Structure 1
Amino acid sequence: MDEDSLLGRISRGQRLSVGCGSARSSVGELRCTLGTTMPPLSYMKDKITVVEDVLQPFQCAGVTLLPSRIADQVASVKAYYMGLHPNDILRGFRARKGDWAPGKELGGAYSESGLCFGQWLSGFARLYKSTGDPQVGERALYLMREWAKTIDQDGYFGYTDRGGDNQYLFDKYVCGLVDIYEFMECAEALEVLARITGYMERKCFDGETTDRNHEWYTLPENLYRAYLLTGDKRYFDFAKRFEYTEYWDAFANEEDPFGILPPPEKREGFHAYSHVNTFSSAAMAYAATGERKYLDTVVNAYNWLKETQLYATGGYGPEENLVVPDGLPDSLIDIKRNHSDVDLRFHFETSCGSWAAFKMAKYLMRFTGQAHYGDWIERLMYNGVGALSPMNEYGMIQYGSNYSVFGAQKMRSTVWFCCQGSLLQNIGDYSSLIFFKDEENLYVNLFLPAKVHWKHSQGEVIVEQETSFPEESTVRLKIQCASSQYFGLRFRVPGWSNGVVQVQINGEAYSVDTVAGQWATLQRNWDTTSVVELQFDMSIRGEPLTSYLSPVAVLSGPVVLAKASVRSGHHGGIPVESALRYPADWLDIESEVRLNRFRQLHYDQELRPLYDIRRGEFYQLYHTRHGEESLCADSFEYSGDWKTNSFCRYTASANATCEIKFEGAAICLEGIRGEDGGMADIYIDSEHKDTMDQFAYTRARMPRYDQSSVPFRWSIDGLSMGEHTVRIVAKGQKGDRATGSIIRLSGAKVYKLRKY
């Protein structure tokens, strides 16, 4: 099946009607139609609120997606999943129970464990709430009820004979049931939840001991949600047993999370998706307890991720690993794997990784009210899950995204795996990421075509966001009120904008503070009809990895641009200045390429949005910074006790000195960290610039990604053009955690130009 065949199953008109009023049916109408009304269950109590939201999401209600590429993706994914036959989905559950089991096995990981069944319950519930399509709601309830018939008397709920009940799978079922209760107001979901929770309580608890296995640390989020929605303390108590205290506390206390890894003989790393997803559990622990340490965990974790883990796309986790300090550039250039295949397959587990990030960022916006967390959501909407190529008819998905400087392709791989579950959850939740609200303000987070109905103290307001952003730089907000009303309209000023946003109201320029990463506020009496126009600067820019000089991604606004072939007859997309249209004019070919070498560029390549790249097309997302020159450690001048090995020059002696003379505007010092890493002062042209610390835990080794050798990088940019001298003076001291005081230098990269 070709790239566009799934979209071709439904007409353009159908694709553009996602969430339109004609398809809507109220929850109450659906509940009555399907006979889901039940008397209150004895264990149901009142909903609990411990922490008030600073900002409230619309939670899949009141927001309608309007015609756009994102709306097309929602419609395409919706049509795909609604095309799956319920008998195929339920076959394994029925067969295990010994019931009649029509249909065929879906295959892949689903046939082994029903891996994404709980996620599909969740996705269908969210998609029903966001689109109002009664057929989607019927599908969610039918699947839940038919599955519930197969649950054993003791509460065992798995797809296959005993073994389909680990905590990883249980979390997905809990999420699906809680979502059906929250978004569809179906009390039956709580009855089913109580049954499977009772089984897991008996299975996991042994007196004071709690059995923990396979991503157990993601469990608290949905159990705490169940507690807050029902008031049933069993879910609070169950969630509490699975708090990831050691890991969360490392972030709450602003410590190095790699420090909690076991000793070298038991080296393991951190699985990226689940170790980001667990921060949603910390966020809900805050919601359930009000204890500030949990919110500190999530806030500090976001800062750590942004500084050390995120690519320009918003993605993270090469080969599903969080990376050691200074390790991110290596993941784009060189890789060491415990396999004969040395190529890195992907840098971001795209659908699941986006789902974890969307939730984390939304919780942060809810609990802090701060706008800058929306930047992460925006990056992933255009470059993460929003840039995936469609699945094929066999259930294969683009599991990961590749950002290598050697070039890459979008490729399908896994069949009915976890990402096929989170994809439905993602598109079902898109509408809840666009707008937020409080008592007297409406907040615009994403600049997507959408309509929102918002009620506040003075009445109801309808705001329609009309735009082709990011293909164009203008966003129009059409405001309709029954009568003149006073309220605030606030929009996120993206970090990439540098605070430059031009604002007009009803065709007249309007002065407002636009600070990057904050909300800009338009507070006034609004007429019955008003139009706000926002104009963004979408100039092409280079963006290196945070805190580094190279490699560099190229962006327009929030969109990462890929260097790819010109498509025959292809026009449109993000406009760029003619001087930047052809990357051969201003981007270097990777000078150290050994595999998949680019041929010399000609004028048949251009910059295109990553989301515009089709499956199988060859593209390059990251590039070596222009004007790079490599210096080896042997070319440096040394004084004092320095030794040599095959990798570097090193010393543990106080006052041992290294001098590097270079000509350029920027330099990146390179070396190797270690648990015996020491400290040294860095001077540039006799001026003290920093004290470097080469300590790092060397314990991160997973089967697919060996990070036991930890790189060191220190860089400075913006120097005046000309000759400079860097002097490194070893202190002969070790930090609090280090076992030694060794400084290791392996080379440097010098850049002659001040711009990319």
Structure 2
Amino acid sequence: MLFRETSRRQLMFGVGTFAILAHATGALAAGGKVNLHGKARPLPLGAVRLKPSDFATAVEVNRNYLHRLDPDRLLHNFRAYAGMEPKAPIYGGWESDTIAGHTLGHYMTALVLTWQQTGDAEMRRRADYIVDELAATQAARGNGYFGGLGRKRKDGTIVDGVEIFDEIKKGDIRSGGFDLNGSWAPFYTIHKLFAGLLDIHGAWGSRKALDVATGFAGYFEGVMTALTPAQVQEVLACEYGGINESFAELYARTNDKRWLAMAELFYDKRVLGPLAAREDKLANFHANTQVPKLIGLARIHELTGEPAKATAASFFWDRVVHHHSYVIGGNADREYFFEPDTTARHITEATCEHCNTYNMLKLTRHLWTWEPEGAFFDYYERAHLNHVMAAQNPATGGFTYMTPLMSGTERGYSTTDDDAFWCCVGSGMESHAKHGDSIFWEGEDGTFYVNLYIPATVDWAARKAGVTLDTSYPYGATSTLRFDTLRSGTFPVALRVPGWAAGKAEVTVNGEAATPAFTRGYAVVSRRWKAGDIVAITLPLDLRLEATPGDDSVVSVLRGPLVLAADLGPNEQKWERADPALVGADLLTGFSPVAADRAIYGTRGVVRPADLGFVPFYRQYERRSAVYFKRFTEAAWQSEEASYNAEQARLKDLAARSVDVMFLGEMQPERDHDLTSDISYPVTYRGRQGRDARSGGFFEFNMKVKPGPLVLQATYWGDERPRAFDILIDGQRIATQRLGHDAPGKFFDVEYPVPTALTQGKASVRVRVVPHDRSTAGPVFGIRLVTAKPGIAA
């Protein structure tokens, strides 16, 4: 659990603020009764400068990455599709697919943020150059449109994606989860471009950026307003990013109600309707497709005051944070939400897509500004520190797509030759451009808030103040806020007290113990402040265990806000041993500090099968980790060992009866078995390789046989979304398999008796797997032919 249940209820249902009791004694009574009230806003990113820390390093590494990228390569398709000569070759990866152009949108925003965070003038020059280029391509087309996204025709050629919008406008809509008339999530890409243009306009008032965005909006207004309400919903069945947010923001900039109407038009009833009714139906929905929709609703609520949109955004946040998330703050397995409180069944190598957390942090900022509550930033800090910071490799500047939490799994970062350009590369270049954007806030009531303890300085214009925050947190316990310059006056300073601190925060003012007021997750000191005043907060950084929602037998180890991981060695050493477990009655007594200033701990007698060192998870860039641990009493561990031995005996028996084994998803075995396929893909999940086939496709391969009764055994994952497919041998169907939550939380085997007539007199057979229409076959994680056990007839 990320927060105590009382905090959740009070936060979500408005039953009042929650108090945090504090251990704070001393002669100086600095607080008294203080009631924080009113909305709040962040101090401008341009006013914040980071001091040395891992966060400052991440910004600098990212700034160098942005310098390496060539704007003209990102603009290649925009010019080519507008009938203009490209100035540089196109990038590879996703930029050479039909989603091309999304990276440019992210890049524009990252340039703006880096200029604000660092003052690097080249960032602004490049952003203005890109606006000039987009304006030129827009003028060349003459209808308001510009773009680099493509459309794949039936012959496989990729052409200018603009042709899909003419089809859509006429009501010819072929929409799926990620494909719209042959283009990969086109409105997702359009949203990124809108956002980039609006960020450039907002940062330094570029009129050209706003004009280009307005012309762009007009083009899509013509497309979408030509549709019936039912046709709009057909279009919205394909991922559309947060384009509702962009139209809402355009309305805020222009006061033109056309754009508010467009923002409200992009409303996916299937997903957003239940959330507005406080119904959690998120399971099996693609996670990052949904989060930006709620950010858009939050922005519309801010502009209109419509309560249903605020309800949907707040309810969604609460459900995702408390019931669909991992200990590092990320969410989703294989990009999809799972059933609430089933995290322990989804600890895989495909967890925590970075884009999801990038967007959840944006949503958190919106919700906090409406009613400042420290619990929002308890989540923000956890996800920012443990997930976002893990998603960039500071040695290379590469980004993760997923941040895997399965024990022993290697993180995969984008490469330095810039050929990936996944969505998470785009959100990564934004995330690591703005680590100063959520540290300091100011309330409508004049309160100065500190929400994150990251060393930085800030110019607070409202008070003509220069403020410094010094800290080694989360490694050191104390954070010190100093007013270097200040127009003297009385106002509250609110320092966030995380829920895990359990009321043990200590506050001093100018070196003397203070008694602040504690409210809404903050220690609040209200007094007449003057230049030179110092307020410090010390938080306990004790180790603790945190149970996984829905399964108390699976735990993680934390120290303050840091998620700790068992260090399983360098990536070069593949982890092939059993997952480590924690065994004992009082587990934390088996931990002792090795280097407390780096949050490194040793263990003694509580880890099985052997002691391991524990370190901050996010810093395991090129090392393997374990984050989740089954915990046992000594007696229960003895039983677990017995179960393990029984499973080993079963596997030995299976190996003895095997005639042929097909390791699907592995190159050499598939070649050895002459595998052929169409619309079929290898997959890796929970350390196992396999293969699936999508609607209209198949995969087939040879397998050896021998005389006598045989059984075909296939392995599946027990928590698949519903699907159906057929299994054939030499053209004859031997089974129809339906999957859908058959064995929650584990792989399972299904055995299909093979009619002896199909194998009689043969040395091999051809096995074929075919999905039903609009369904998926598998994934199948291996197939083997085995001799039947005695007494089983074919």
Q: TM-score, normalised by structure 2?
A: 0.65
Taking the TM superposition and a 5 Å limit, the aligned residue runs for 1:636-655 are: none
Residue 423 of structure 1 and its aligned partner are, at CA, apart by 1.3
Contact 1:91-1:101 at 8 Å conserved across structures: yes
One-letter amino acid matched to 2:143: D
Aligned position for 1:223 = 247
Contact 1:174-1:222 at 8 Å conserved across structures: yes
Match of 1:252 among 276, 282, 289: 276
Aligned position for 1:692 = none
Contact 1:365-1:373 at 8 Å conserved across structures: yes
Q: 1:362 to 1:200 in 2, by over 3 A?
A: same
Aligned position for 1:104 = 89
CA distance in structure 2 between the aligned counterparts of 1:104 and 1:53, rounded to whole angstroms: 52
1:468 and 2:472 aligned: yes
1:614 and 2:621 aligned: yes
Aligned position for 2:373 = 370
CA distance in structure 1 between the aligned counterparts of 2:145 and 2:598, rounded to whole angstroms: 56
Q: 1:524 to 1:400 in 2, by over 3 A?
A: same
1:623 and 2:638 aligned: no
More deviation, 406-415/298-307: 406-415
Aligned position for 1:583 = 603
CA distance in structure 2 between the aligned counterparts of 1:297 and 1:710, rounded to whole angstroms: 32
1:158 and 2:158 aligned: no
Match of 2:199 among 155, 179, 182: 179
Residue 217 of structure 1 and its aligned partner are, at CA, apart by 6.0
Q: 1:65 to 1:576 in 2, by over 3 A?
A: closer
Contact 1:312-1:560 at 8 Å conserved across structures: yes
Question: Matched residue of 1:529: which SS?
Answer: coil
CA distance in structure 2 between the aligned counterparts of 1:215 and 1:574, rounded to whole angstroms: 44
Q: 1:326 to 1:482 in 2, by over 3 A?
A: closer
Which structure 1 residue ranges, 5 or more long, are not aligned?
1-51, 262-268, 333-343, 590-599, 633-697, 713-756
One-letter amino acid matched to 1:81: L
Contact 2:569-2:625 at 8 Å conserved across structures: no
Residue 92 of structure 1 and its aligned partner are, at CA, apart by 2.3
Contact 1:371-1:519 at 8 Å conserved across structures: yes
1:89 and 2:74 aligned: yes
Contact 1:389-1:410 at 8 Å conserved across structures: no
More deviation, 321-330/361-370: 321-330
Taking the TM superposition and a 5 Å limit, the aligned residue runs for 1:324-723 are: 324-332=339-347, 344-350=348-354, 352-390=355-393, 397-404=399-406, 406-412=407-413, 415-439=420-444, 440-456=446-462, 459-514=463-518, 518-565=521-568, 572=595, 574=597, 581-583=601-603, 585-587=605-607, 589=608, 600-602=609-611, 605-615=612-622, 617-627=623-633, 629=636, 700-701=721-722, 708-709=741-742
Q: 1:483 to 1:364 in 2, by over 3 A?
A: closer
Q: 1:111 to 1:486 in 2, by over 3 A?
A: same
1:302 and 2:326 aligned: no
CA distance in structure 1 between the aligned counterparts of 2:597 and 2:507, rounded to whole angstroms: 21
CA distance in structure 2 between the aligned counterparts of 1:627 and 1:94, rounded to whole angstroms: 65
1:212 and 2:236 aligned: yes
Taking the TM superposition and a 5 Å limit, the aligned residue runs for 1:114-153 are: 114-151=101-138, 152-153=141-142
Task: State the Cα deviation string for residues 497-545 of structure 1 (Å, max 9, x = none).
Answer: 1121111111111112446x61221100113211112111101111112
Contact 1:500-1:514 at 8 Å conserved across structures: no
One-letter amino acid matched to 2:497: V
Aligned position for 1:646 = none
CA distance in structure 2 between the aligned counterparts of 1:182 and 1:702, rounded to whole angstroms: 47
Q: 1:173 to 1:566 in 2, by over 3 A?
A: closer
Taking the TM superposition and a 5 Å limit, the aligned residue runs for 1:193-212 are: 193-209=213-229, 210=232, 211-212=235-236
Residue 242 of structure 1 and its aligned partner are, at CA, apart by 0.6
Residue 194 of structure 1 and its aligned partner are, at CA, apart by 1.7
Task: State the Cα deviation string for residues 718-744 of structure 1 (Å, max 9, x = none).
Answer: xxxxxxxxxxxxxxxxxxxxxxxxxxx
CA distance in structure 2 between the aligned counterparts of 1:133 and 1:389, rounded to whole angstroms: 21
Residue 710 of structure 1 and its aligned partner are, at CA, apart by 8.3
One-letter amino acid matched to 2:404: N
Question: Matched residue of 1:139: which SS?
Answer: helix
One-letter amino acid matched to 1:180: I
Residue 560 of structure 1 and its aligned partner are, at CA, apart by 0.6
CA distance in structure 2 between the aligned counterparts of 1:53 and 1:102, rounded to whole angstroms: 51
CA distance in structure 1 between the aligned counterparts of 2:529 and 2:352, rounded to whole angstroms: 44
Aligned position for 1:46 = none
CA distance in structure 2 between the aligned counterparts of 1:360 and 1:702, rounded to whole angstroms: 33
One-letter amino acid matched to 1:136: M
One-letter amino acid matched to 2:238: H
Residue 455 of structure 1 and its aligned partner are, at CA, apart by 3.1
Task: State the Cα deviation string for residues 520-579 of structure 1 (Å, max 9, x = none).
Answer: 211001132111121111011111123430311111111111100589xx98565569xx
Contact 2:475-2:599 at 8 Å conserved across structures: no
One-letter amino acid matched to 1:96: Y
Residue 399 of structure 1 and its aligned partner are, at CA, apart by 0.9
CA distance in structure 2 between the aligned counterparts of 1:89 and 1:172, rounded to whole angstroms: 13
Contact 1:574-1:609 at 8 Å conserved across structures: no
Residue 283 of structure 1 and its aligned partner are, at CA, apart by 0.5
CA distance in structure 2 between the aligned counterparts of 1:53 and 1:362, rounded to whole angstroms: 15
Aligned position for 2:662 = none
One-letter amino acid matched to 2:448: L
CA distance in structure 2 between the aligned counterparts of 1:539 and 1:122, rounded to whole angstroms: 38
Aligned position for 1:595 = none
Contact 2:42-2:437 at 8 Å conserved across structures: yes
Contact 2:341-2:549 at 8 Å conserved across structures: no
CA distance in structure 2 between the aligned counterparts of 1:471 and 1:448, rounded to whole angstroms: 11
May I ask how many residue pairs the two structures share in their alignment?
552
Question: Matched residue of 2:102: which SS?
Answer: coil
Residue 124 of structure 1 and its aligned partner are, at CA, apart by 1.2
Identity %: 26
Task: State the Cα deviation string for residues 319-357 of structure 1 (Å, max 9, x = none).
Answer: 11111134211112xxxxxxxxxxx4321012x122111
Contact 1:248-1:282 at 8 Å conserved across structures: no
Contact 1:540-1:576 at 8 Å conserved across structures: no
Contact 2:495-2:537 at 8 Å conserved across structures: no
CA distance in structure 2 between the aligned counterparts of 1:507 and 1:529, rounded to whole angstroms: 12
Question: Matched residue of 1:206: which SS?
Answer: coil
CA distance in structure 2 between the aligned counterparts of 1:555 and 1:353, rounded to whole angstroms: 22
Aligned position for 1:289 = 304
CA distance in structure 2 between the aligned counterparts of 1:383 and 1:96, rounded to whole angstroms: 41
CA distance in structure 2 between the aligned counterparts of 1:349 and 1:706, rounded to whole angstroms: 25
CA distance in structure 1 between the aligned counterparts of 2:73 and 2:594, rounded to whole angstroms: 42
Contact 2:342-2:551 at 8 Å conserved across structures: no
One-letter amino acid matched to 1:232: D
Contact 1:556-1:574 at 8 Å conserved across structures: no
Question: Matched residue of 1:398: which SS?
Answer: coil
Question: Matched residue of 2:454: which SS?
Answer: coil
Question: Matched residue of 1:228: which SS?
Answer: helix
Task: State the Cα deviation string for residues 136-155 of structure 1 (Å, max 9, x = none).
Answer: 11111111211321232123
